[in-house]
Chain A
Amino acid sequence: MRIGVVLSQTPGYSETFFNSKIKGLQENGMEVRIYCQSKKEGFKLCPAIESPKVSRNPILQAWYFLKEFSILLLHLPVLLRYIKLERNEGIGMIQIFKKTYLNAHLLKAKVDWLHFGFATMALGSETVAKAIGAKMAVSFRGFDINVYPIKHPECYKNLWKHVDKVHSISQYLLHKAISLGLSVESPFAIITPAVQLDALPMPKTITTSSESIKIVTIARLTWIKGLDVAIAAMGILKEKGINFTYYIIGEGDQNYTERYKFMVYELGLKEEVVFCGKLSHKETLEHLTTADLYVQPSLNEGFCNAVLEAQAMGKLIIASNVGGLPENIVDGKTGWLFENLSSESLTQQIETVLALSEADKKTISQNTQKRIIEEFNIEKQQKEFIEFYTL
């Protein structure tokens, strides 16, 4: 069986989710190809095919057009089928011409499944799978379902019509997609992200008895990560005389950097809050090993890999009660949830956790690791993906 995965670019080294999925499929005799806009240097896991180029230079663009369409003539039946499908959707000929060019790399594909890595990737390519005689699959990851449709209502109307099977990383995203118009009858599979446990440093003990508590968040500096909620909570903690340092690992554009740094300045937290910027995966994990508490204040998450990794390391985790996070964490057993957007609720939860006995903390930590090992391991994920295409 041949699977074509459509992504914006080939997965990076640390994107375990895609890489382990591909390896798993290959080990089971499936052939995987990636269709993407740009190929990263050194990606060798499977063949990667780039999408047709778009140039501002009209002469160059005319040449690209000519080249692509000449090759497409070798796939004439597919091309005609595609044009017919698009005509049925009420698309005009000029638009079809453009779409044919942009989808040329997919129209030439010989695959059994065309799997769009996230819902927005499928926009403009909804009928391609049918045209090439493949089944169409799509993954829901977070932004594509949580945020994009707010600005673009009805954007997935055609996707819902043509998709053969959906993959969601959480129950939450699936339900959200149904509320956006996905048919309840659409075949689906929930396959959560997984952690490669042997790649993680495993701290032997957890302690929060030290003089100053170390709190960590891994997040891009952008609004949906809810960093203002966390920073406000840190302000309250400081007022209460709690000794802590809060590390934010991740970078953002100038606007968001100024927003959060100014908030820290305003609340007088320059000593307590450290902006680490972007760190490598390895450096990030090193930070995590020495953390007493991990906080995820996001306004929404499809599932959240950072929380998953922190759990695998047995960290005490507090996350907002929103999106896929309540599936990621079992409240009170493998971590704690706080009321979304509420810094007061977050502060309360932090205090509650800090007040636990060492024995209780240890139990939670062990529960957490056990659940991750049993339910979020790579082998389970790989098996689920094979079933996704074969069942």
Chain B
Amino acid sequence: MNNHFKIIIFDGSFQTTPFINRLVARLAENHDVYILGFNEKIHKKVKNVNYIPLGSNQNKFRFVSTALALSFSKKSFTHTSKTLNLLFKKRRKEVQQQNFEIAVSQIQPDCIHVQWPSLLPWCEGFLLHNTHKIILSQRGSQTNIIPFVDAENFEYLKKWYPKVSGFHSVSKSVSEKGDIIWSDTSKIDNVIFTGLPLEQMVFSNKYLKSKPLALLSVGRAHWVKGYDYALKCCKVLKDAGVSFHYTIIGGAEDEELQYLRKELGLEELVSLKMRMPQEQVFELMKSSSLLLVPSIVEGLPNVAVEAMALGLPVISTDCGGVTELIENDCTGWIVPSHSPSVMALAIENFNKMPLEKIHNIRLAGRKKVEHYHSDTQMIKGMENLYKEVIQTSNP
């Protein structure tokens, strides 16, 4: 068997995450890579990757022309008439389903890598008849949260998981969550950590523990991020007389955070900022003293990996895969989630810590990231997973 594969990446959209973009760019060097999507808007296509539209959700004309082109390519009268019929009745989802199936049958992929569990319904036909190898990524709330608060979703995944050929998990902890849904001795489930372009991410030698202590968090304002607990932690710090300033990138506009900031008397001490481009975030990381990850749930927070790569020390809650990245007091610090006072204590300790110790932790953090979070290990891990799945005969 050769090592050249045809791989479909199915994210639902052309505008894939930076993680997927880095993955496909490298995969395309040795394999045929296709990205299938309903949302066709894209700023910059990844080189050497084939983008196959499945019927635009934004543009009616594009929707109709895509559907007709795909159905004509089948050169079957019944097929085309079925398409026309569906189009006429405005049964959008069925047209898209048909588009998806035609596109896949034309590509004849070795495997389809489905990026989110919510996309499994599109693949039910393949799963049911075992026509294609499906690989599913487990990375965040769709594996960590929803199955455990929505019994129907849990039952759905439990029903279809055994038919999935292989799993990619971004951390051991998310893999364990997936095992609660379904587990079997024949299950292929590889933990492949996020890879970063580390050669472009220069470790900062000019680290300063600023006064007031510059605390930073990065990520959209969503309850899983636990910013409400971080603000309560700031109140504890304020009451203890610690000099600090806390910035949340992505926290602007959120009513709850604005309310808490005011209610806890933190208006001078906390900045809630809009999202910003990654380069700016990296600049801010370089001028900050400490990254806070106050999350309730995470697959494995990329922002912590990025901070460690750049040499910014991290205090994180023990959410999800963080303990696989950070060993307490070695590569950063771990505190329990939902515990503002413990987090405050950790920050106070950090504030009193000699620079030399912090420097050692920073170095250890970078080393850890270089070892486990390089682009190369991610690509190798992913290629191995594809190979394993493709070479395993389906039961």
Do A and B originate from a single complex?
Answer: yes
Residues of A that sit less than 8 Å from B by CB: 146-147, 150-151, 223-224, 228, 232, 255-259, 261-263, 265-266, 299-300, 341
Contact A151 B297 (CB under 8 A): no
Choose one: B222, B232, B259, B262; the contact of A224 (CB below 8 Å).
B259
User: Within the assembled complex, what's the spacing in Å between the Cα atoms of A30 and B262?
Assistant: 42
Indicate whether B268 reaches chain A with its CB closer than 8 angstroms. no
User: Within the assembled complex, what's the spacing in Å between the Cα atoms of A224 and B258?
Assistant: 12
> Would A262 and B145 be within 8 Å (CB), given that A150-B262, A299-B263 are in contact?
yes
Q: Which residues of A sit under 8 angstroms from B256, Cβ to Cβ?
A: 223-224
Q: Which 9 A-B pairs have the closest CB atoms?
A: A261-B149, A223-B256, A259-B223, A265-B148, A150-B258, A262-B149, A258-B149, A262-B145, A150-B262
A136 to chain B, nearest CB (A): 28
Choose one: B150, B255, B338; the contact of A150 (CB below 8 Å).
B255
Indicate whether B146 reaches chain A with its CB closer than 8 angstroms. yes
Choose one: A223, A232, A259; the contact of B338 (CB below 8 Å).
A232
Contact A151 B145 (CB under 8 A): no
Choose one: A151, A256, A261, A262; the contact of B255 (CB below 8 Å).
A151
Closest residue of chain A to B149, judged by CB?
A261
Contact A258 B146 (CB under 8 A): yes
Q: How many residue pairs at the A-B interface have CB separations less than 8 Å?
A: 46
Contact A257 B223 (CB under 8 A): no
Indicate whether B296 reaches chain A with its CB closer than 8 angstroms. yes
Choose one: B232, B253, B296; the contact of A262 (CB below 8 Å).
B296
User: Within the assembled complex, what's the spacing in Å between the Cα atoms of A310 and B6?
Assistant: 65
Contact B148 A147 (CB under 8 A): no
Contact B149 A151 (CB under 8 A): no
Q: Which residues of A sit under 8 angstroms from B149, Cβ to Cβ?
A: 257-258, 261-262, 265
B252 to chain A, nearest CB (A): 10
Closest residue of chain B to A228, judged by CB?
B228
> Would A262 and B297 be within 8 Å (CB), given that A255-B223, A257-B149, A341-B232 are in contact?
yes
B317 to chain A, nearest CB (A): 12
User: Within the assembled complex, what's the spacing in Å between the Cα atoms of A131 and B304?
Assistant: 59
Q: Which residues of A sit under 8 angstroms from B258, Cβ to Cβ?
A: 150-151
Known pairs A255-B222, A341-B232 / 19 extra A-B pairs, C-beta < 8 Å: A147-B255, A147-B259, A150-B255, A150-B258, A150-B259, A150-B262, A151-B255, A223-B228, A223-B255, A223-B256, A223-B259, A228-B228, A257-B149, A258-B146, A258-B150, A258-B223, A262-B297, A266-B296, A299-B263
Residue in A258, A259, A265, A300 with the greatest tally of chain B CB atoms within 10 Å: A258
Provide the B131-154 mask, 1 if CB < 8 A to any CB of A, else 0: 000000000010001101110000
Contact B145 A258 (CB under 8 A): yes
Q: Which residues of B sit under 8 angstroms from A341, Cβ to Cβ?
A: 232
Q: Which residues of A sit under 8 angstroms from B253, Cβ to Cβ?
A: 151
User: Within the assembled complex, what's the spacing in Å between the Cα atoms of A349 and B153?
Assistant: 38
Q: Which residues of B sit under 8 angstroms from A266, Cβ to Cβ?
A: 296
B78 to chain A, nearest CB (A): 40
Contact B338 A262 (CB under 8 A): no
B243 to chain A, nearest CB (A): 24
9 contacts across the A-B interface (CB closer than 8 A): A147-B255, A147-B259, A150-B258, A223-B255, A223-B256, A257-B149, A258-B149, A262-B296, A265-B148
Q: Which residues of B sit under 8 angstroms from A259, Cβ to Cβ?
A: 223
Q: Which residues of B sit under 8 angstroms from A265, Cβ to Cβ?
A: 148-149
User: Within the assembled complex, what's the spacing in Å between the Cα atoms of A265 and B153?
Assistant: 15
Q: Which residues of A sit under 8 angstroms from B141, Cβ to Cβ?
A: 258
User: Within the assembled complex, what's the spacing in Å between the Cα atoms of A266 and B297?
Assistant: 10
User: Within the assembled complex, what's the spacing in Å between the Cα atoms of A266 and B223?
Assistant: 14
User: Within the assembled complex, what's the spacing in Å between the Cα atoms of A263 and B337?
Assistant: 11
User: Within the assembled complex, what's the spacing in Å between the Cα atoms of A82 and B296?
Assistant: 53
Contact B259 A299 (CB under 8 A): yes
Q: Which residues of B sit under 8 angstroms from A299, Cβ to Cβ?
A: 259-260, 263
A343 to chain B, nearest CB (A): 9
B376 to chain A, nearest CB (A): 35
> Would A262 and B148 be within 8 Å (CB), given that A232-B338, A341-B232 are in contact?
yes
B86 to chain A, nearest CB (A): 28
Q: Which residues of A sit under 8 angstroms from B262, Cβ to Cβ?
A: 150
Q: Which residues of A sit under 8 angstroms from B223, Cβ to Cβ?
A: 255-256, 258-259
Closest residue of chain B to A267, judged by CB?
B338
User: Within the assembled complex, what's the spacing in Å between the Cα atoms of A146 and B223?
Assistant: 21
User: Within the assembled complex, what's the spacing in Å between the Cα atoms of A150 and B146?
Assistant: 32
Q: Which residues of B sit under 8 angstroms from A262, Cβ to Cβ?
A: 145, 148-149, 296-297
User: Within the assembled complex, what's the spacing in Å between the Cα atoms of A94 and B296?
Assistant: 49
B198 to chain A, nearest CB (A): 33
Closest residue of chain B to A146, judged by CB?
B259
Q: Which residues of B sit under 8 angstroms from A258, Cβ to Cβ?
A: 141, 145-146, 149-150, 223
Closest residue of chain A to B145, judged by CB?
A262
User: Within the assembled complex, what's the spacing in Å between the Cα atoms of A125 and B228?
Assistant: 35
Closest residue of chain B to A143, judged by CB?
B255
Q: For residues 212 through 245 of chain B, which have their beta carbon under 8 Å from a beta carbon of chain A?
A: 222-223, 228, 232
User: Within the assembled complex, what's the spacing in Å between the Cα atoms of A348 and B354?
Assistant: 40
A131 to chain B, nearest CB (A): 33
Q: Which residues of A sit under 8 angstroms from B222, Cβ to Cβ?
A: 255
